[in-house]
Amino acid sequence: AVSELKTYSIANIPADGIGPEVISAGVEVLKCLSEASGSYKIEFEDYDWSSETYKQTGSYIPEGGLDSLKKHDAIFFGAVGAPDVPDHLSLWGLRLAICQPFQQYANVRPTKILRGTTSPLRNAKTGDLDWVIIRENSEGEYAGQGGRSHRGLPWETATEVSIFTRHCVERLIRFAFETAQKRPRKHITVVTKSNAQRNGMVMWDEVAGIVAKDFPDVKVEKMLVDAMTCRMVLQPNSLDTIVATNLHADILSDLAAALAGSIGIAPTSNLDPTREHPSMFEPIHGSAFDITGKGVANPVGTFWTAAEMLRWLGEEEAADRLLECVENVCESKVVTRDLGGTAGTKEVTAAVCEEIKKSY
């Protein structure tokens, strides 16, 4: 009997700025990979939700839009944000409007110095910086709680309340320990600011202590977020898995991406570890309007994102192969300007497709 090939359905949301440029590069590479492998199929459906839609209709996601996403196995997301829409409206209008109802509570950000690229850190080379940052993605400082009163008056007050619930902190820290346990070094750094923030952050430390007992083979270290920034720069080799709050990990992961060479190379996975909802995969960078339409956006972050999406779907072999091919292309110096090269998005994409075909 002829066995049916496994088919994955992906929702593409390219959205704003360089989003469409990098997502179409990512789709091209994913198609090339599935055809070359012959072991699974991948189908795409495009969703044109963006800041343009918002400006025309007043909302990013049309009525019933979220429901229509549920039928897909994963969401492949570009970037949201436009110069003429306030950032908090675009972020909450599209990205968080998907992350929150879909319970994508674990935001996973691997970073490493890819072969053929260089780090701004003196002496750091491939292998010296290989981290995965696990960011809380459902509450904390970005819970959206708070408000303003007495607008415009000198005594105007604005509050931004951080919400930490034991349930959400525990599920995230447990996920982070599981991640650490699967990596060769089995080492986790729990980051807080529990010296200054004495409620949520102290609970975070307590929960980490309790969860740690279930992972006796994982070495745990605690760091304050300010000291952590120094540690990342001065001793990158001493870190492996890092878990932090929504705000702290947001900042640390931009630093991580820069230390690894460019914000254009790193991926982000927004995971619902229960797998009740589709998870969402996006490059770490934003919409980068300064380079939009110029054909120079680095697609490597999106390729790595595509690899992480495949890994989540169960296609480990294809994921590893894709990343291997991307690193080969970086090593051959077909790279964009942000990595010191002269290639455009299309040349890098074509080179990666060539490399994939060659690899089979």
Concatenate the DSSP letters of all residues of 183-233 into one string: STT-EEEEEE-TTT--SHHHHHHHHHHHHHTT-TTSEEEEEEHHHHHHHHH
SS3 108: strand
Q: What are phi and psi of 20, to 5 degrees?
A: -60, -35
**Residue of minimal Cβ distance to ligand ATP:** 286
Q: Footprint of ligand ATP on this chain (CB under 6 A)?
A: 18, 79, 81, 87, 263-264, 285-288, 290-291, 297-298, 301, 336, 338
The answer to whether the beta carbons of residues 146 and 161 sit under 8 Å apart is: yes
Give the shortest CB-92-to-ligand ATP separation in angstroms.
Answer: 13
Q: How far is the CB of 188 from ligand ATP (least distance, A)?
A: 26
**Which residue's CB is nearer to ligand ATP, number 42 or number 79?**
79
Q: 158: buried, middle or exposed (CB in 10 Å: 19+, 13-18, 0-12)?
A: exposed
Give the interface size with Mg ion as a residue count (CB under 5 A): 1
CB 323 within 8 A of CB 115: no
Q: Work out how close the CB of 205 gets to ligand ATP at its nearest, in angstroms, rounded to a whole number.
A: 29
Tell me the C-alpha distance between 283 and 288, whole Å. Answer: 12
Cβ closest to Mg ion, residue 220 vs residue 244: 244
301 binds, among ligand ATP, Mg ion, none (CB under 5 to 8 A by kind): ligand ATP
- Mark the segment that binds Mg ion (CB under 5 A) among 210-218, 228-236, 283-291, 321-329: 283-291
Q: What distances in angstroms separate CA 346 from CA 24, 51, 178, 236, 297, one per listed residue?
A: 10, 25, 37, 33, 9
- CA–CA separation, 219 vs 242, rounded Å? 12
**Minimum CB distance to ligand ATP, residue 51 (Å):** 11
Per partner kind, with CB cut-offs from 5 to 8 A, the member of ligand ATP, Mg ion, none near residue 103 is none
Residue nearest to Mg ion according to CB distances in the complex: 286
236: partner contacted, choices ligand ATP, Mg ion, none (Cβ within 5-8 A by kind) = none
Least Å distance between CB 263 and Mg ion?
A: 8
How far out from the chain centre does Cα 205 lie? Answer: 24
Q: Smallest distance, Å, CB 251 to Mg ion?
A: 10
Q: Facing residues of 136 across strands?
A: 106
Provide the pairing of β-strand 140-149 with 157-163: antiparallel
Shortest gap between Cβ of 89 and ligand ATP (angstroms)?
12
Q: Report, in Å, the least distance between residue 150 CB and Mg ion.
A: 31
Residue 211: name its binding partner from ligand ATP, Mg ion, none (Cβ under 5 to 8 Å by kind). Answer: none
Distance CA 348, CA 335 (A): 6
* 288 interface partner picked from ligand ATP, Mg ion, none, CB below 5 to 8 A per type: ligand ATP
> Which residue number, 50 or 194, has a Cβ lying nearer to Mg ion?
50
The region of 95-103, 128-136, 139-147, 281-289 touching Mg ion under the rule CB under 5 A is: 281-289
Between the alpha carbon of residue 111 and those of residues 173, 191, 226, 294, the distances in Å are 19, 17, 20, 26
Tell me whether residue 22 or residue 168 sits nearer to Mg ion (CB atom).
22
User: Between residues 273 and 344, which has the closer beta carbon with respect to ligand ATP?
Assistant: 344
Alpha carbons 131 and 269: distance in angstroms, whole number: 14
Q: What residues pair up with 110 in beta bridges, in sequence order?
A: 132
Please give the residue ranges that form the binding site for Mg ion (CB under 5 A): 286
